[in-house]
Amino acid sequence: MAARLLRDFPGRTLAVVEARHAMGGTWDLFRYPGVRSDSDMFTLGYADRPWRDRRSIAPGEAIRDYVRDTADESGVADVVRYGHRVVSADWSSAEALWTVTVDVEAADRAEADARVDDRAATVDATDRLGPAAPRRVTVTCGVLVACSGYYRYDEGYTPVFTGQDDFTGRVVHPQHWPDDLDVTGRRVVVIGSGATAITLVPALAERAEHVTMLQRSPTYVLSLPSRRRRPRLWRRLLPVGIDDALTRWRSIGMALLSYQASRRSPARMKAFLRSGVERRLPEGFDVDRHFQPSYDPWDQRLCITPDGALFAALRAGTASIVTDGVERFVPEGVRVEGRDGQEARVVPADVVVTATGLNLLLFGGMRLSVDGAPVDPATKLTYKGFMLADVPNFAFAIGYTNASWTLKIDLVGRYLSRLLRHMDRRGWRWAAPSSPTREGRTMPLIDLSSGYVARGRHLLPRQGVRAPWRMHQNYPRDVLSMRFSSLTRDGMRFGR
């Protein structure tokens, strides 16, 4: 987003305010063993700087370096202001400006040295002055874009477990993985069944005595190769740029095909996923209990395990799965309920990892208002999945749930650039989508049944059932809508 705006509007002033003290977002925050992408890198990577590593499923450290290198090359690193947490933003109709309130925090010297300076990233000079109390400042801007995703960075979701204080081992959450934790020779229980748990279990099993994945209910898991496989003819004959484009569109097509097949023929997709699991597990493994969810594929995100790593750990006996509810923690581990005819028992543990999900946080917690009147995003409709009805010169970037996140972000950046150029040509100072006169039925912005979505759905804006108020989960369709549609129709208002 920032790279595109810098390139398309060299005469404008742009600043990126980042609450943390390092570049990389998710890929700098998460440091748990095995952290990796859960989308292929050829579509998760930037369109204008393609991912050319042969690894299609990449480790977090490699992605973090890729993000930082891209920021350096594009000039984005020069406009980032670290330790700047946006508190609120108020739009003035009279001035056609946003007034943004920011808390500026002093960077810890050790953290800055370890996570920023080693990558030659640019830190605001105020962050190099040493320890100091945070100060509150205000800045004005003509256009405000929220690119903070939708989950909280400072805390993950951990349910209250009875007896947790009785446990004599260590309890950790993946979002805040301690540097001093060594699982070598220890018994580990990972509570959860989502992407984080699927990633952690085989990684921990390489060193731990044994890893148990304790899940309340199963998840669909698909094994995919971790490295790209290109037809030999491509490698010999095609220029690099064409190879990049074909690889990217091939990955887009495969992901879209999987999603559409899941929605249109869920029974067939269930059978396909089950057959893949059965082929990779030993005979007699209870697939029905541990790998047969009650919901349809893509009601929740599909989890992937690169090169069948999870299944390999299960075959080797270094990992196992218990599908049951947590009754309570006990000194020696976790006691399970004994559901569905199972025996209530204690799963022994020296370390318990609560891979129990995320907490949603829209716009990084920023409060919005227009002419002093608070804006509640939950009461607003989204326009093309990136603007709020009746909120001028404000955009937000939320990616796809059924494909790589950055595919949608790239389209949002392109559309926003088109919109701003149109405003410049016509002399408009602001643009805002008008609420439809007849809203009719609305839908959740994120149409998944996952726990983290269900817990935070009341915080999110809604979407309509038809364009331009509907966010499609279909990249080719959105390419037409975002790159080639009219800017002046579909209820967009402009003013000076």
Boundary (domain end) residue, out of 314, 339, 354: 354
Reference 413, options 428, 396, 429; nearest CA is 396
Residue carrying structure tokens 């100072």:
429
Interior angle at CA 394, CA 175 and CA 97, nearest 5: 120
Boundary (domain end) residue, out of 307, 331, 354: 354
Residue 67 lies in a domain: yes
DSSP helix, strand, coil percent of the chain (3-state; round to 5): 35, 20, 45
Residue 159 lies in a domain: no
Q: What are the φ and ψ backbone dihedral angles of 306, each rounded to 5 degrees?
A: -60, 130
User: Are residues 459 and 377 part of one domain?
Assistant: yes
What does the alpha-carbon distance between residue 333 and residue 491 come to, in Å, rounded to a whole number? 58
CA–CA distances in Å: residue 124 to residues 75, 121, 129, 359: 15, 10, 10, 29
Q: Which residues of 159-189 are buried (b: 16+ CB within 10 A; e: fewer)?
A: eebeeeeebebebbbbbebeeeeebeebbbb
Reference 193, options 170, 212, 167, 172; nearest CA is 212
For residue 427, is it left (φ>0), alpha (ψ between -120 and 50) or beta?
left
What does the alpha-carbon distance between residue 316 and residue 160 come to, in Å, rounded to a whole number? 33
User: Are residues 288 and 429 part of one domain?
Assistant: no
Residue 234 lies in a domain: yes
Do residues 187 and 350 lie in contact, with contact meaning Cβ atoms separated by under 8 Å? yes
What does the alpha-carbon distance between residue 56 and residue 336 come to, in Å, rounded to a whole number? 37
User: Are residues 405 and 322 part of one domain?
Assistant: no
CA–CA distances in Å: residue 156 to residues 173, 320, 361: 7, 25, 11
User: Are residues 7 and 65 part of one domain?
Assistant: yes
What does the alpha-carbon distance between residue 76 and residue 362 come to, in Å, rounded to a whole number? 23
pLDDT tens-digit profile, the chain (496 residues): 999 999 999 999 999 999 999 999 999 999 999 999 999 999 999 999 999 999 999 999 999 999 999 999 999 999 999 999 999 999 999 999 999 999 998 754 333 334 333 333 333 333 333 445 679 999 999 999 999 999 998 888 989 999 999 999 999 999 999 999 999 999 999 999 999 999 999 999 999 999 999 999 999 999 999 998 766 676 678 888 888 998 899 999 999 999 999 999 999 999 999 999 999 999 999 999 999 999 999 999 999 999 999 999 999 999 999 999 999 999 999 999 999 888 899 999 999 999 998 999 999 999 999 999 999 999 999 999 999 999 999 999 999 989 999 999 999 999 999 999 999 999 999 999 999 877 678 988 888 888 888 888 889 999 998 889 988 889 999 999 899 888 998 889 999 9
What does the alpha-carbon distance between residue 225 and residue 7 come to, in Å, rounded to a whole number? 35
Amino acid letter at 473?
A: Q
What tokens does 206 get? 């390489």
What does the alpha-carbon distance between residue 7 and residue 168 come to, in Å, rounded to a whole number? 55
User: Are residues 198 and 79 part of one domain?
Assistant: no
Residue 176 lies in a domain: yes
Do residues 208 and 186 lie in contact, with contact meaning Cβ atoms separated by under 8 Å? yes
Q: What residues have CB less than 8 Å from 410, skipping those under 6 apart?
A: 46, 47
User: Are residues 232 and 98 part of one domain?
Assistant: no
Reference 40, options 260, 256, 281; nearest CA is 256
The pTM of the whole model exceeds 0.75: yes
User: Are residues 59 and 180 part of one domain?
Assistant: no
User: Are residues 386 and 326 part of one domain?
Assistant: no
End-to-end Cα spacing for the chain? 25
What does the alpha-carbon distance between residue 213 and residue 479 come to, in Å, rounded to a whole number? 40
pLDDT at 132: 58
Boundary (domain end) residue, out of 323, 339, 354: 354
Residue 39 lies in a domain: yes
Provide the domain count of the chain: 2
Residue 259 lies in a domain: yes
Name the burial class of residue 29, with classes exposed (0-12), middle (13-18) and buried (19+) by CB atoms within 10 angstroms of its CB.
Answer: middle
User: Are residues 400 and 387 part of one domain?
Assistant: yes
Residue 299 lies in a domain: yes
Do residues 306 and 36 lie in contact, with contact meaning Cβ atoms separated by under 8 Å? yes
For residue 38, is it left (φ>0), alpha (ψ between -120 and 50) or beta?
alpha
- Residue 120: CB atoms within 10 Å: 9
What tokens does 455 get? 């817990």
What does the alpha-carbon distance between residue 177 and residue 221 come to, in Å, rounded to a whole number? 24
What does the alpha-carbon distance between residue 398 and residue 5 come to, in Å, rounded to a whole number? 17
Q: What are the φ and ψ backbone dihedral angles of 142, each rounded to 5 degrees?
A: -85, -30
User: Are residues 299 and 380 part of one domain?
Assistant: no
User: Are residues 87 and 60 part of one domain?
Assistant: yes
Residue 224, beta-bridge partner list: 306
Reference 303, options 201, 418, 426; nearest CA is 201
Q: For residue 48, what is the domain's CATH number?
A: 3.50.50.60
- Residue 289: CB atoms within 10 Å: 14
Domain that holds residue 195: 164-354
What does the alpha-carbon distance between residue 238 and residue 218 come to, in Å, rounded to a whole number? 43
What tokens does 404 get? 């790589």
Q: How many residues does the chain have?
A: 496
Residue 327 lies in a domain: yes
pLDDT at 133: 67
User: Are residues 189 and 147 part of one domain?
Assistant: no
